Structures are given as C-alpha cells and as structure tokens.
Amino acid sequence: MTSLKPLDPAQNRARYLVVRQSMPTEDAAPPYLHADNPLLPDTADDLPNQLHSSLQGAQLKVLIPRFAQAGDENAIPGFLNLTWNGSRVGTRYNYTTPIDPAITEFELLLPAGLTNASGSHELSGSSHLRV
C-alpha cells in the first residue's frame, strides 16, 4: 500500500516552479521552413504545405519570427522550442532578454526522421520565460 505524505512548503514551491517554467508564456508566431528546405507550391488537387520527397525524413531548418517579449529590458532568461504533433522536439534555443533588435527570426532544427510519415502533422513553436 502506498503511503502519501503532504509536501513541505519548500517541496511544494519547487514543484510549482517546475510546472510554471514548463508552460509556454507566449505562443510564437507560426514557424516556417528555411529557404534551404522549402515546401512545394500549393496546388488545387493536393493538400497545402507539402514537403518534397527528397527532404522527407531529413533534418529541417525551421525559422520562428521574433516574439513580443524579446525586447523586454529586464534580463530574463528563457527559451524557444519546437513541437511536432504536440510533443517537444529538437534542441531548444536559449536566450536572455533583451535580444538584439537585429535578430528578426530564430533558427531551430527539426530532427531527422519526423517527416517521413505521410499524413497531416502539426509544427509549432513557443517561447518560455524563466521568471
């Protein structure tokens, strides 16, 4: 039988901070593929956003546009990450605000092996601040 005991205040706060820091603070603008690995042009007889067969299963460069909190003057650490079909994937991009205004997009890599299955998939990006 499992014996449950209440958490002390320090343990409770530590768990709360882990949950809070893992939540996105801002959905980034929709990511898009880098010009090195473009999508095929949309056609009337096929679904949009098709990837060329030569790129299926390959590691892909993905760009996330600059997000609103990037210019925050307070030195706040954070990270960007990609999600593929609802699961975090790839290496996250760590940053500390304010981010150089000359940086208008962030390059992340979608790992190899994710795009080799046919069908519809969802790629998204999010920004997380560690406050």
**Token pair belonging to 112:** 């190899």
- Where b means 16+ CB within 10 Å and e means fewer, 3-27 reads eeeeeeeeeeeeeeeeeeeeeebee
**Token pair belonging to 24:** 């996105």
* 102 in any annotated domain: yes
* 70 in any annotated domain: yes
* 16 in any annotated domain: no
What total of structural domains would you count in the chain? 1
3-state secondary structure of 13: helix
For residue 5, name the pLDDT band (cuts at 50, 70, 90): confident
- Quote the pLDDT of residue 12: 79
86-124: pLDDT as tens digits: 899 999 999 998 999 999 999 999 999 999 988 889 998
55-85: pLDDT as tens digits: 999 999 999 999 888 888 888 888 899 999 9
Q: Is the dihedral of CA 25, 18, 106, 115 positive or negative?
A: negative
* 7 in any annotated domain: no
Q: What is the pTM of this model?
A: 0.75
* 19 in any annotated domain: no
User: Could you tell me if 30 and 83 are in contact, meaning their C-beta atoms sit under 8 angstroms apart?
Assistant: no
* 118 in any annotated domain: yes
* 1 in any annotated domain: no
* 82 in any annotated domain: yes
13-35: pLDDT as tens digits: 877 777 666 555 566 678 999 99
Q: Which amino acid, one-letter code, is at 90?
A: G
- Dist CA 97 CA 33 (whole Å): 25
Q: Which segments of 77-130 does DSSP mark as H helices, in order? A: none
Which residue range(s) make up the domain with 109? 24-129
